[in-house]
Amino acid sequence: MKITQKLHELPQSLWLDNITREILDNGTLRAYVDELSITGLTSNPTIFDEAIGGTSTYDVSIRTKARTGLAGEQLFVELALEDLRRAAELFRPLYDATGGMDGWVSMEVSPLLADDTRGTIEAAARIRLQAACPNLFIKIPGTAAGIPAIEESIFAGVPINVTLLFSREHYLAAAGAYMRGIERRIAADLDPLVVSVASVFVSRWDRAVADKVPDDLRNRLGIAIGGRTYRAYCDLLDSKRWRDLAAAGAHVQRLLWASTGSKDPKASDTMYVEALAAPDTINTMPEKTLLAFAAHGALNLTLSRDGGDCEAVLARFAKAGVDIDALAAKLQIDGARAFVKSWQELMQLIATKSQALTGT
């Protein structure tokens, strides 16, 4: 049995953290589904910026849409949804077979809205309607402005992938928003089945402290944060509040591990996948990481429900001068800024290509 299949049967869902028109056209994504147990995918502005800028595959679509008057964000959303609808159709049988628990793709609202609650709510509803795709998550960052937008969107029946979470506290804020939205739906006599995932970013922790801690702590912070967050996730699922929601028909907001590609060339390229193997979670992997895990990954231990030695490890980081709460806040701010930068580059790229391809 392939190692990816073993991970899938844990059960942990394996999603691809990438989408390009090329892997749709040449059958690569189909092969990942058939051969490597991929059951969903995620996207973000950086992924689309690299996909559109690194190939001519999108040129015909850009030319056609630009000639109809589309530009900027409107043109990009149409381009992205063309790809995501195709991927969603590929995952649709799994989505149907699992009652909506798996088989999802994700589309992010504009990163410029990270501090705009009302704008985020409106954008999420607009993209959901425009996509007309049942297994499309709308990605909303778990920022201070994003948390109320998540609650309102869940209440409105919009499936949400909460992104840019970096800590246990970030995760619990996102989970709280999800549960409040579901509780409000139940109180309003609405269907409580609105699916959501909560995406916790891992590797950026280790990149942030790589040169600031002793060598024996190198590449251990992200996994320790993962262990702490997984414990909170398991505790929440054991709570009466969640059990009552589940009894009413709600689906669990699954914990998703994001940013699971190793950033350290001296470290194992599969370390985050192996360390964060945990039942009832999702790991969305960059293509390079997926292929590395399929080639030489191992599955020896699963993440303990109590987080294992995470608190002891985090205590050592604190002793080394790492302020976990402050760093979590900084990583979320930096992550939002990085997506804004990619978004701005993407808008400029689309404008430049539109002009070149239409001669206007």
Question: Is 139 among the catalytic positions?
Answer: yes
Name the amino acid, one letter, at 322: V
CA distance 115 to 118: 9
Is the bond leading into 159 cis (omega within 30 degrees of zero)?
no
Q: What is the DSSP letter of 145?
A: T
Residue pair 122/132 in contact by the 8 Å Cβ criterion: no
Which position among 6, 65, 139, 288 bears the catalytic label? 139
Q: Which residues contact 354 (CB under 8 A, 6 or more apart)?
A: 62, 63, 66, 71, 75, 360
Neighbours of 270 (CB within 10 A): 23
Write out the DSSP string of 219-258.
Answer: T-HHHHHHHHHHHHHHHHHTSHHHHHHHHTTPPP-EEEEE
Tokens of 265: 């060339």
Residue pair 192/245 in contact by the 8 Å Cβ criterion: yes
The interaxial angle of helices 221-237 and 310-319, nearest 10 deg, is 140
CA distance 7 to 2: 9
Name the amino acid, one letter, at 291: L
| Cα–Cα separations (whole angstroms), residue 58 to 49, 53, 55, 62 | 11, 9, 7, 6
Name the amino acid, one letter, at 119: G
* Burial of residue 215, with CB atoms counted within 10 A of its CB: 0-12 exposed, 13-18 middle, 19 or more buried: exposed
Tokens of 312: 């002891």
Q: Report phi then psi at 338, rounded to 5.
A: -65, -40
Q: Please report, in angstroms and rounded to a whole number, the separation of the first and last CA atoms in the chain.
A: 55
Catalytic residue numbers read 139
